[in-house]
Amino acid sequence: MALQAADRAEQTSRAQKDERPEYVLEDQAGHLLRRAHQRHTAIFQATIGDDQLTPLQFAALMKLADVGETSQNLLGRLTAMDAATMQGVIKRLTARGLIERRPDDVDRRRLMLTLSKDGRKLVRDLSERGTAITDQTLDPLSAAERETFLKLLKRLSG
C-alpha cells in the first residue's frame, strides 16, 4: 500500500509538472519591463522634488531645453508621445507657466513651443536630479551592465 501511495504521489507530481504552462509571467519581457518602469517611476516621484511634475512632463521640458523652440508635433515625436498625450502635457506645463506657445509664423495651425523663464530655471534646477534618478534606477547594475542594458534598451526602442 505504501508503494501505491508513493506511486500515486509521483504520478501526481509528474502530472502537475506536465500541466505547468510554458508561459511563466515572471520570465516575460513585458512583465519585467513594467516592473522596472514601476520602480523607476517610484524613484522619480521620490527624487524629483516637484509633486506636480510627471515623468512625461519632465521629458518634454528636458527635450525642449535640448532642442530650443520647436513645434508641438515635433516635440511629441522626439519624446515618443502621441498627439493627445502631448497636448495634455503642454496644457499642464503652460498652465504652470513653464512653457510658452505661439502660432508658427509660416503655418498658423502649427504651435511653436519654448521654455519660459520659469521653465528654464526649473530645467536647470532639476537636471541633476534627473541624472540621480537614472543612477538610482540603474544602481543594481555594474558599470558594464549599465552600458549593455542601455544599449539593448535603445535597440528595443527602435
Q: Output the nine-digit C-alpha cell for 58.
A: 519632465
Encode pLDDT of 36-52 as tens digits.
Answer: 999 999 999 999 999 99
The residue ranges of DSSP E strands in the chain, in sequence order, are 70-71, 99-103, 111-115
More confident residue, 4 or 69: 69
Residue 80, phi then psi, degrees to nearest 5: 60, 45
Residue 97, phi then psi, degrees to nearest 5: 75, 25
pLDDT at 110: 87
pLDDT at 58: 97
The residues, any chain, with a CB within 8 Å of residue 75's CB and separated by 6 or more, are 60, 63, 64, 67, 86, 90, 113
Could you tell me which residues are beta bridge partners of residue 99?
A: 115
Q: Is the pLDDT of residue 20 over 70?
A: no
Closest CA to 89 of 47, 49, 137, 56: 56
Q: How confident is the model at residue 14 (pLDDT cuts 50, 70, 90)?
A: low
Query: What DSSP state is assigned to residue 41?
Result: H
Q: Is the pLDDT of residue 1 over 70?
A: no
pLDDT at 8: 62
pLDDT at 108: 82
Rounded to whole angstroms, the Cα distance separating 46 from 38 reads 12
Rounded to whole angstroms, the Cα distance separating 14 from 81 reads 49
Rounded to whole angstroms, the Cα distance separating 126 from 157 reads 25
Encode pLDDT of 94-140 as tens digits.
Answer: 999 999 999 988 888 888 999 999 999 999 999 999 999 999 999 99
Whole-number average pLDDT of the chain: 90
pLDDT at 12: 59
CATH architecture of 51-137: Orthogonal Bundle (1.10)
Domain boundaries along the sequence of the chain: 51-137
